[in-house]
Every structure is written in C-alpha cells, then in structure tokens.
Amino acid sequence: MQYEYIIINKNDLDKALIEYPNTLAEAGFWLIVKAAEKAKEKRLRLEEERLTDLEVRTKRFWSKTVPVGDCIYWTGATDDYGVGVVSSFGKAPRYAWMLEHGDIPDGMIISNTCNNAACVKLEHLQCKWRGNNSA
C-alpha cells in the first residue's frame, strides 16, 4: 500500500486547535480531513496537468520513433509480438492514431497496412472493424 504524506502548516494546526479547543481528538480529526482534502487536490491537479498537456505527450511519443525506409519504427518498449507499448496507455499504434484522430470507436481496431508490428506511421495505420482483421 502506498501512503501519501501531506504537510500541514502551522496555520492549519492553530486553526484546528482554535476551532476544537475542547478535545485534541476533534482537532486531530479536522487535521486528517484537511490532509485528505489537500491530497485530493494534489492528485486532481497532477491528473489535470497530465491530461491537458497534449503537446508534451505528443512530443514525448514521437521522440521514441525513428524512420526506417517507408515506415516509422517505435523504439520504446514492445510486447512479445513486437508491437510498441506506451506504458501508461497500451499499444503504440493505437496511441499514435488517437493523437491524430481522437477516440477509436467501439468495435474498431487499429491495424498496420505495412504488416510491420513496430510501425506507427500514420499513413500505415487504418481503423477497421475487429472482425475484418485477418492477423
């Protein structure tokens, strides 16, 4: 289990002791609630930064590619079949498609027309029905 530590400043401690002067337990509970609120705010802020910074994610993705012949190879991690893997997302060809075109409709897959598992070149990727994939 991962624990998150939030520092409570002296003003929060003073406020807790002023609002709950009768029992230390009430003041302690207030501080725990305050710490939980701060932790939640921090997680939401980090999540927002991660989701809104599309330009940085796009640059990071394409920095892990190299042109080889007519294809663009993914040089990051791969699965057992040689398909690129983006650690926080899944398969690299799907990620490349979504960066350019947005969400992939339900029931659809991304396949390579060049039959090269490591290729993430947008011109070689096509979105098609799952049942049409012969591979």
Element (H or E) spanning 51, and its range?
helix 24-52
**Residue 118 carries which DSSP code?**
T
Buried b or exposed e, range 97-131, using 16+ CB within 10 angstroms: beeeeeeeeeeebbbbeeebbbbbbeebbeeeeee
Q: How many CB atoms lie within 10 A of CB 9?
A: 10
Q: How far apart are CA 13 and CA 27, in angstroms?
A: 8
Q: Give the pLDDT mean for 5-16.
A: 61
Contact between residue 39 and residue 2 where contact means Cβ atoms under 8 Å apart: no
pLDDT in tens, 80-127: 998 899 877 789 999 999 988 888 888 899 989 998 989 999 999 999
According to DSSP, the residues that pair with 110 across neighbouring strands are 127
Residue type at 19? E
Taken in order 75, 102, 87, 115, the sign of the CA dihedral is: negative
pLDDT in tens, 35-85: 777 778 888 777 777 666 777 788 888 999 999 999 999 998 899 998 899
